[in-house]
Amino acid sequence: MRTSSNSAFEIISRIGCGGSVEAFIVRSPLAAENLVGLRLKVEGLSKRAREEALARFVRQYTQSQILGNHPSRVFPTTYGFAPDAVSAWILIEAFEADLGRRCAGDAIGWQNAAELLAAPLRALAILHRRGLFHRDVKPQNMLCRRSRVALADLGIVGAPSLLTPYTPPGIVQGTLLYLHPGVFQKKPDDALLRRADLYAWYVSWFELAHGMLPAWIENEGLCMVHVVSGAFLQYLLRHTPEGLRPDLTDLFESPRPRLPVTASRIAAILSEHFPALNASHTSGTHLRAILPNARSSIRKAVYG
């Protein structure tokens, strides 16, 4: 198989398929190690649907250049079209797993979870400083590789100033469980989108720390009610350590927070409550030590 950038690669094995995207382990002269090849199938789509699908697919990984050489970035190697012009390929570095899969059902504790999510938090800070918002922060979009945790899936990163309105007015973008209740109540502005990104980070932190979420998340109707009403937010705060609760309540529940809701404010809270975090978060050995063993299947533990 050869892409339009004249970079040949060999398919070694198929990983799986999600929607219209297939994933493969591939070998390429562009890298010393095997890569992951993602193939988007567009046959059978109308011209407009094909163009939109291709644009989002390419944007999902090429927009990671926004993060520069930050270690929380997923580095694409190349992308292009297959000769038949009915599929597109992106080659990216191979990751062991996403944090949703790697930590499913394991309660790793608040400090360990904060260490794993420190790099994605810094990536959000970079995006927010540029007026951009991720809009789908969750453990499944955080990829781990050796000593790194990278923030992935930048395909719906958006800002009011971007040329194309990726999300139509009135449409809420993201994964239901990680959505801040405020996004359902008014038209999102920059402050709300920033708060929503950081709230999704907090939900991810809670999920990794506890290893469990309420049983009703398996029921879409109940999940919608709890998320939209703010009941889930209140549940999270009730089960957050007392020392962290006042600051996080102000960040995510208060209609008028005392201080701006920013990634740097959350980083300051983490430094205050977990002094060892600053000394250990750059240690790849330490990160590997706190990651649970890789799992062969995705599993979510729940309780009532």
Q: What is the DSSP string of 144-170?
A: EETTEEEE---TT-B-TTSSS-SS-TT
The verdict on residue 77 lying in a domain is yes
Q: Say yes or no: 156 and 105 in one domain.
A: yes
Helix H or strand E segment including 181: none
The last residue of one of the domains, among 55, 73, 93, is 93
**Considering the entire predicted model, what is its pTM?**
0.78
Q: Hey, what are 294's tokens?
A: 């890789």
Q: Say yes or no: 22 and 115 in one domain.
A: no
Q: Say yes or no: 143 and 234 in one domain.
A: yes
The last residue of one of the domains, among 62, 93, 124, is 93
The residue written with tokens 């649907």 in the block is: 49
Give the mean model confidence (pLDDT) for residues 249-274: 93
pLDDT in tens, 72-118: 666 666 555 554 556 778 887 778 788 888 888 788 999 999 999 99
Asked if pLDDT for residue 204 goes beyond 90, the answer is yes
Which DSSP letter does residue 293 get? Answer: P
The contacts of residue 46 (CB under 8 Å, 6+ apart) are: none
Give the mean model confidence (pLDDT) for residues 135-153: 85
Q: Say yes or no: 73 and 101 in one domain.
A: no
Q: Say yes or no: 117 and 187 in one domain.
A: yes
Asked if pLDDT for residue 158 goes beyond 60, the answer is no
The verdict on residue 31 lying in a domain is yes
Q: Say yes or no: 242 and 113 in one domain.
A: yes
The verdict on residue 1 lying in a domain is no
The verdict on residue 111 lying in a domain is yes
Q: How many domains does the chain have?
A: 2
Q: Hey, what are 155's tokens?
A: 């395909």
What percent of the chain stands above pLDDT 70? 73
The verdict on residue 5 lying in a domain is no
Q: Say yes or no: 219 and 87 in one domain.
A: no
Q: Say yes or no: 118 and 233 in one domain.
A: yes
> What's the CATH number where 86 sits?
3.30.200.20
Q: Say yes or no: 134 and 252 in one domain.
A: yes
The verdict on residue 4 lying in a domain is no
The last residue of one of the domains, among 56, 72, 93, is 93
Q: Say yes or no: 86 and 138 in one domain.
A: no
Lowest mean pLDDT among 146-160, 197-211, 243-257: 146-160
Give me the domain span that covers residue 246: 97-303
Q: Say yes or no: 125 and 33 in one domain.
A: no
